[in-house]
Structure 1
Amino acid sequence: MLRTHTCGQLSEKLEGETVTLCGWVDSYRDHGGGLFVDLRDRYGITQVVFNPPDSTSEVIEASKSLRAEYVIRVTGKVAPRPEGMANKRLATGAIELRATTLELLNKCLTPPVSPSSDEAPGEDLRLKYRYLDLRRAEMQKTMLLRAALIKDMRDYFAEHDFVDVETPILGRSTPEGARDYLVPSRVHRNMFYALPQSPQLYKQILMIAGYDRYIQVARCFRDEDLRADRQPEFTQLDAEMSFVDSNDVMGIIDGLIAGLAKKHLGIEVATPLPRMTYDEAMERYGHDAPDLRFGMEIVDCTDLAAEAEFRVFHSVATSGGRVRAINAKKGTEQYSRRGIDGLTEFVGEYGAKGLAWFRVEEDGSLNSTIAKNFTPELLKRIGERLNAEPGDLLLFVADSFAVTCKALYALRSKIAREMKLYEPGQMNFSWVVEFPMFERDEEEARWQAMHHPFTAPRDQDLELLDTDPGNCRAKAYDLVVNGYEAGGGTIRIHDNKIQSKVFSLLGIDEETAKDRFGFLLDALQYGAPPHGGIALGIDRCVMLFAQLENIRDCIAFPKTQKATDLMTEAPGEVDAKQLRELAIKLVE
């Protein structure tokens, strides 16, 4: 090794010893007679002093040519810092290295991204010079957390007898919702592999093969529109179990989450984690991944709205729509009339045609420009329904159920953030269960799988596949953390006939099903056990545990929201020879 110790390793116990460090110049300070350099590696920072009598004039002179991010190797003696000069913010702050030799391993151009700066530059610059950005302490902390979480996940599942199996990256295109990334085959002309959206089918095959507990840290690929918490390629913790029901799978993950939260966040998480049905989540929070760090639940007021003379409320309530509201406790202190106008514009982005509101006065009465359209008795009942107290702000959306969900969910999240209704670092873990099996695609007039086509219906809903698919509920469960879906899973269909029926409901005819999924349908006829599993998004879990807002900050080499790599400039063109070998002709 070129070094004897790391830059985070030296302490007073090593006083008087000669050691060698390697690292990057984090900062340097010339105090006249000598030079002070903070030397950095991923383990920490050590102060190196170039000063007589320890350093020769040649070494001191060489040290004066050092600049930020130069890579150096330095040998010297460990010594205590002068009295009163200790730096308690550093693990090595009680000592310094008094240099006797200096070797310049490599120079560095003026860095466009400064790893030693407390302020991060713009994201595009960070991604273009990712090798510099990854030197920043914040990024290194996140990458180390990511590595530790993955190791702990693997260790946990190993302790519970799961077998780690790698599944193929090059597979068959079997669309499961998002678009596949396709890979042309050179050997099989005009044919394509697909990169896996998940190891779904392979892990089901493993259950049929008798490997009753499977685990994998899997790379997955989806060609879909991106958001701050989405990437075209991502990593998931993929698990599958045989002879289990939903409670068994959720119970395994409960134990994993409790262990990770205790070790990495220092918090005790009670298990089993709370659970609510999909219908309950939509009614109370307007979303299937509700943020439970705060209250402000959505309250239905449709029956009361039908009695009002306020035309908007009355017409929506009597024509099959919904009138729903949230109570922003003490919200009148936060939002002036102009502020409420801003909230009205905000919900408009989610399809709402307006935002009705009432301020709760000191005497408990409801005050608004629309109050004259309500009887005093009706206003009182509305206040009671929403648990109104002086200073509260009551906010209403009248529209279809879908629009009220979208608008009030977004509004609830915005107000909670602006009013600071939860503590920084606060974590909430829960499950949402019993999702619908299907959702209706009105444009194509057909059913789509809410999760994926291999999800089993609840036993009591099995007959609804024939009579009322829209009301059929699935053996499905999502892990929700702070309003994010951190993972999702289902119990799978293990009966060939039921799987064929689900394919038919999804508009997949027998010939197409055989072409795309024939191997699965065949395998289900060879002693397939009841089985189910889950996939946890590792990128998203790291983002939440590290308290980040952007998933790109917890991936070493992420893509932009346009699915490009600014550092390598991928995707890029390929030469004509490669295209000829693949029998591909580009279309302008």
Structure 2
Amino acid sequence: MSDILGDMRRTHHCWELGAADIGKEVVLMGWVQRRRDHGGVIFVDLRDREGITQVVFNPEFTPDVHEKAHVIRNEFVIGVRGKVGARPDGMINPNLKTGEIEVMVTELKLLNEAVTPPFMIEDRVDVSENIRLKHRHLDLRRPALQKNIITRHKASVAVRNFLNDNGFLDLETPVLTRSTPEGARDYLVPSRVNPGKFYALPQSPQLFKQLFMIAGFDRYYQIVRCFRDEDLRAERQPEFTQIDMELAFVGEEDIMAIAEGMMVALFKEIRGIDLQTPFQRLPYDEAIARYGLDKPDIRFGLELKDMSDIVAGSDFKVFASVVKSGGIVKAINVKGGVGFSRKELDDLTDFVAIYKAKGMAWIKVKEDGTWQSPIAKFFSDGEKQAMIERLGIEPGDLILFGADTPKVVNESLGNLRNHLARKLDLIREDEFAFTWVTHFPMFEYDETEKRYQALHHPFTAPLDTDYGKLTDDPLAAKSRAYDMVLNGFEIGGGSIRVHQIELQKKIFAALGMEQAEYEEKFGFLLSALESGAPPHGGIAFGFDRLVMLLCGESSIRDIIAFPKTQKASCLMTNAPAEVDKSQLDELALKIRKISLDS
């Protein structure tokens, strides 16, 4: 069998060579980034995954090789043999590691030709994301994306090394399992050998990793693919990767210490940053009170202040009536924001409307201390003084108010806070600020289904002091759940699990599940809990989101090799796609056409 490479084998990557290599004979292989013909001498920037090296075809040095180089075009695949030389004076490129040298080519092998690509293979390419995703194999040649994918690999190695060194076992869990309620829709897989029955792709390995603890494996981890059929946004994908772990005979502090240690190792390896531990801890109620969200970005101020008690008796009926009906009034003090134009204020009002806020009141405090606002006249001097003290109001400030149900006020002002920080350039992008959010509520009430739902999942243990609230006042019960938050992103979440069967049954009952239902769905778990389950808990990190932050990107699509669009489709392979009727018949399935509007 012939070998197109012949006796030519790569000796170096294109980013390796420097001044110390001058005089060496080398073999490089890669793609033609660009070709330049300077009056006879042909210069080619040769690119591989490590970077670029300039190779030179000189007609005075090797006329036959130079003649062959005339056919080279962008993205052709070539191999070259040659001698490393110093670039002439004035031709050094200080922006390249290889900028001091070039390779004088003595042998050229054309390994493959290439059609003209639909966009330039360079980082600052002006082309739509859809075109890039359609031609993802070309998009992945861009240096920035290659760097991201390589960083993803290095992050995976760093995580595995840390967990292996700390007594964890890398154990696999099934991909084909049964559908269980975990908060999002399952992807279902029909069974050919069991007509009319379905597997589900796992939203997480939650129950299986608990079973590992009950089986006695003590410390488990897995870098695992998970699947959720949910509405997508920049940091979500239908298939995603988790760093999943579970530990036996532990409490919250043990798991937090391991998780923090992993972050320290990861950020040192990838970014060269020394993180300080322990990370800040924020109870859920405090996070909501101060920041409006359970994933607060703590890199800047603009904290929310509850003004309900101050305005409850005011003459401004909008605020007073909201408080009387059980709602709240909160405010943000935007220091130096007095210069916001009316249009900018209208834009902020439109922004909070995204989060169902019906409006936004404002007060500008002018440099002479007077209050400019349509609502200022409704407040007494005493109420104004109370606002000044609580909000730290000074001349030049802009005060923004939200008044509605607690959920609407917190979500709208919490997101407005983040929006203002970006608008006012208050965020240091090179800062990594971690915090733990703890003591989440056990349940939330679903108005549509008229029943309680687990805020995390139904296997989360309540605080020991809140067992009685599971039946008496479920919404007041707090859990032993914890989230790790980084720069306003939830990057990890976990909890101490229920390990006693009677407590697990009590939680199922609080969720409105009859015994027959939970026995049918979770009988295997209940049986395991009866078999001597140790106290255990765990955490799962969103690996894609974590790598996104490590790479300084704003979308996880830029750190996943072959991502889906926001409509959960792959533009490169045209998935999902219709299948042959014969395949459907084998699965005993029939497609029913429905309107997207139905």
Bin for the TM-score computed over the shorter chain: over 0.9
Of residues 502, 505, 509, the one that matches 1:500 is: 505
Q: Which amino acid aligns with 2:59?
A: P
Classify 1:159/1:346 alpha carbon distance in 2 versus 1 (closer, same or farther; 3 Å).
same
Q: What residue number does 2:133 align with?
A: 127
Q: Which amino acid aligns with 2:24?
A: E
Q: Does 1:372 align with 2:386?
A: no
Deviations 1:222-250 (A, max 9, x none): 11111111110000000000000111111
Of residues 329, 344, 351, the one that matches 1:339 is: 344
Separation in 1 of the partners of 2:452 and 2:538?
A: 24
Which deviates the most, 547-556 or 530-539?
Answer: 547-556
Separation in 1 of the partners of 2:343 and 2:202?
A: 49
TM-fit CA distance, 1:259: 2.2
Of residues 145, 149, 174, the one that matches 2:180 is: 174
Q: What residue number does 2:111 align with?
A: 105
SS at match of 1:91: coil
Q: Does 1:32 align with 2:39?
A: yes
Which deviates the most, 31-40 or 349-358?
Answer: 349-358
Q: Which amino acid aligns with 1:81?
A: R
Of residues 160, 179, 191, the one that matches 2:197 is: 191
Separation in 1 of the partners of 2:118 and 2:382?
A: 66
Of residues 207, 211, 218, the one that matches 1:212 is: 218
Q: Does 1:2 align with 2:21?
A: no
Of residues 507, 532, 557, the one that matches 1:552 is: 557
SS at match of 1:30: strand
SS at match of 1:99: strand
SS at match of 1:142: helix
TM-fit CA distance, 1:371: 1.4
Separation in 2 of the partners of 1:351 and 1:223?
A: 25
Contact 2:35 2:44 in 1 (8 A): yes
Deviations 1:103-152 (A, max 9, x none): 11111111013212523521101110000000101101111111111110
Contact 1:113 1:129 in 2 (8 A): no
Aligned length: 586
Separation in 2 of the partners of 1:343 and 1:192?
A: 47
Contact 1:77 1:98 in 2 (8 A): yes
Deviations 1:42-73 (A, max 9, x none): 011000000133322x3212212111111111
Separation in 2 of the partners of 1:378 and 1:191?
A: 65
Of residues 558, 572, 578, the one that matches 1:567 is: 572
Which deviates the most, 298-307 or 202-211?
Answer: 298-307
Q: Which amino acid aligns with 1:85?
A: M
Separation in 2 of the partners of 1:74 and 1:398?
A: 69
Separation in 1 of the partners of 2:204 and 2:188?
A: 14
For 1:10-25, what aligned pairs fall within 5 Å after superposition? Answer: 10-25=17-32
Q: Does 1:295 align with 2:297?
A: no
For 1:153-552, what aligned pairs fall within 5 Å after superposition? Answer: 153-333=159-339, 335-552=340-557
Contact 2:55 2:105 in 1 (8 A): yes
Q: What residue number does 1:76 align with?
A: 82
Q: Does 1:50 align with 2:61?
A: no
Which deviates the most, 253-262 or 31-40?
Answer: 253-262
Separation in 2 of the partners of 1:275 and 1:435?
A: 13
Deviations 1:142-179 (A, max 9, x none): 11111111110110011100011011111111221111
Q: Which amino acid aligns with 2:571?
A: L
SS at match of 2:523: helix
SS at match of 1:47: strand
SS at match of 1:210: coil
Contact 1:163 1:214 in 2 (8 A): yes
Structure 1, unpaired ranges of 5+ = none
Deviations 1:565-587 (A, max 9, x none): 00001011111221121111111
Contact 1:55 1:98 in 2 (8 A): no
Structure 2, unpaired ranges of 5+ = 1-7, 594-598
Which deviates the most, 306-315 or 319-328?
Answer: 306-315
SS at match of 2:133: helix
TM-fit CA distance, 1:9: 1.5
SS at match of 1:514: helix
Contact 1:364 1:388 in 2 (8 A): no
TM-fit CA distance, 1:266: 3.2
Contact 2:158 2:269 in 1 (8 A): no
Q: Which amino acid aligns with 2:253?
A: N
Contact 1:366 1:383 in 2 (8 A): no
TM-fit CA distance, 1:218: 0.6
Separation in 1 of the partners of 2:286 and 2:101?
A: 59
SS at match of 1:317: helix
TM-fit CA distance, 1:187: 1.7
Deviations 1:528-571 (A, max 9, x none): 00000000000000111111111111100011110000000101
What is the CA RMSD across the aligned residues, in angstroms? Answer: 1.3
Classify 1:143/1:210 alpha carbon distance in 2 versus 1 (closer, same or farther; 3 Å).
same
Contact 2:123 2:144 in 1 (8 A): no
Deviations 1:276-305 (A, max 9, x none): 111111111111101111011000111111
Q: Does 1:576 align with 2:593?
A: no
Q: What residue number does 2:596 align with?
A: none
TM-fit CA distance, 1:337: 1.9
Deviations 1:408-438 (A, max 9, x none): 0121111100000011222111100000010
Separation in 2 of the partners of 1:354 and 1:565?
A: 39
Separation in 2 of the partners of 1:117 and 1:327?
A: 40
Separation in 1 of the partners of 2:401 and 2:123?
A: 46
TM-fit CA distance, 1:25: 0.3
Which deviates the most, 539-548 or 502-511?
Answer: 502-511
TM-fit CA distance, 1:353: 1.6
Contact 2:123 2:143 in 1 (8 A): no
Scaled by the length of structure 2, the TM-score of the pair is 0.96
Contact 2:458 2:507 in 1 (8 A): yes
Contact 1:456 1:493 in 2 (8 A): yes
Scaled by the length of structure 1, the TM-score of the pair is 0.98
Separation in 1 of the partners of 2:312 and 2:472?
A: 33
Which contiguous aligned blocks of 4+ residues in structure 1 show a shift greater than 6 angstroms?
none
Deviations 1:333-370 (A, max 9, x none): 3x112211211122122211211111122233322122
Of residues 53, 62, 65, the one that matches 1:59 is: 65
Separation in 1 of the partners of 2:10 and 2:371?
A: 72
Share of identical aligned residues, percent? 53
